[in-house]
A = this chain, B = another copy of it.
Amino acid sequence: MAPIFSTRPLYLQLRDVLTERIATGEWKAGVAIPNEGDLAREFGVSPGTMRKALGMMEGERLVDRRQGRGTFVKDQGSEDRTIRFSNIRGADGMRISGAVTQAHITEGTANDLECARLRLRVQDPVYRVRRVHSHEDRTFMIEDASMPAVLFPGLADSNGHSHRIAELAQQHGMLLGKAEERISIDQASPDIAEALGIASATPILLLDRVIETLGGRPVEWRLGRCHLASDSYLAEMR
């Protein structure tokens, strides 16, 4: 197909269109999408080009492809996806997310740190939520998270919203990309120490994490105060 309207590679344009169908929910989680051939015909491209677009989406973990079965939309709100941005692992090496007891969501305006991490301007509205993570009856992390309010319209008003970023993103038609986490050592303040069941001033991990959309826009900034005990933090490098 001649690049009449855009010189951008066809397979990238295709990926964007197909990704949009997932983000909007036109293609639902867990459901098979049309096969390569049909999609290629629909868009008037050759099968190989469509294949390249779908392969790229598999790399972005938007779809699963399996020989003989088909191409399936991944569930972005599932447990897997929630755990994806937690590097804390139990003694068995499995990722831990932990049950969360939620304090209510509050609304406010961005402070300096929120502006820097979420790339906002001063006074931009944000939602804030505290999450307490427990695993096997032990509280191991207290999180204070902030999200740009523009991305989550009406979040504080209504009930029934999840506090988990993966579900929130799904509900608001956003797809999560990568995250960065800065790790340092902190001392537990009295209230944090009490919540974690440790002595005040015990050294703990300070986990400063920013999650971005697939497009690179910051979605959530979170400060986690974590007492590992027998668990461990595991980073992979490639």
Contacts and interface: CB of A to CB of B under 8 A. Distances in A.
A196 B52 CA distance: 51
Contacts of A228: 184-185
Indicate the member of A180, A182, A236, A237 with the most B CB atoms within 10 Å: A237
Interface string A209-221: 0000000000000
Contact of A237 (B178, B182, B183): B178
Interface in A84-117: 84-85, 87
A183 B183 contact: yes
Contacts of A181: 234-237
Interface of A: 84-85, 87, 177-185, 203-205, 228, 232-238
Contacts of A183: 183, 205, 232-235
A187 to B, nearest CB: 8
A238 B177 CA distance: 7
Contacts of A180: 234-237
B185 A237 contact: no
Instruction: Tell me the interface secondary structure of chain A in the complex.
Output: strand
A235 B232 contact: no
B179 A237 contact: yes
A46 to B, nearest CB: 13
B182 A232 contact: yes
B233 A85 contact: no
Given A177-B238, A181-B235, A183-B183, 6 more contacts: A84-B237, A178-B238, A179-B236, A181-B234, A181-B236, A185-B204
A235 B85 CA distance: 11
A179 B182 CA distance: 18
A178 B233 contact: no
B237 A87 contact: yes
Indicate the member of A84, A181, A185, A228 with the most B CB atoms within 10 Å: A185
Contacts of A232: 182-184
A233 B203 contact: no
A228 B203 CA distance: 14
A205 B206 CA distance: 12
Indicate the member of A183, A234, A235, A238 with the most B CB atoms within 10 Å: A235
10 contacts: A178-B236, A180-B237, A181-B234, A181-B236, A183-B205, A183-B232, A184-B228, A185-B203, A185-B204, A185-B228
